[in-house]
Amino acid sequence: MRVQDGWLEGVVRCPSAHCNTRPDGEVSLLVIHNISLPPGQFGGGYVQSFFRGQLDPAAHPYFAEIAALRVSAHFLIERSGAITQFVSCDERAWHAGASRHGGRENCNDFSIGIELEGTDELPYTEHQYGALLALTQALQQAYPAITNSRITGHEFIAPGRKTDPGAAFKWHRYLAALTTPKGT
The pTM (predicted TM-score) of the whole model is: 0.96
pLDDT at residue 183 in the model: 53
pLDDT at residue 180 in the model: 72
pLDDT at residue 111 in the model: 98
- By CB neighbour count within 10 A (0-12 exposed, 13-18 middle, 19+ buried), where does 18 fall? buried
| Cα distance between residue 156 and residue 98, in whole Å | 12
Residues of the chain with pLDDT under 70: 181-184
Q: pLDDT per residue over 38-67, tens digit each? A: 999 999 999 999 999 999 999 999 999 999
Half-sphere exposure (Cβ direction) of 46: Cα atoms closer than 13 Å: 21
Report, as residue numbers or ranges, the catalytic residues. Answer: 115
* Pairing verdict, β 19-21 and 91-93: antiparallel
- Does domain 3-134+152-179 sit in CATH 3.40.50.2300? no
Q: pLDDT per residue over 4-14, tens digit each? A: 999 999 999 99
Distance spanning both ends of the chain, measured CA to CA: 19
Helices (H) and strands (E) in the chain — how many of each?
5, 12
| Cα distance between residue 52 and residue 63, in whole Å | 14
- Is 94 in contact with 18 (CB distance < 8 Å)? yes
pLDDT at residue 86 in the model: 98
Query: Is cis: bond before 38, omega within 30 of 0?
Result: yes
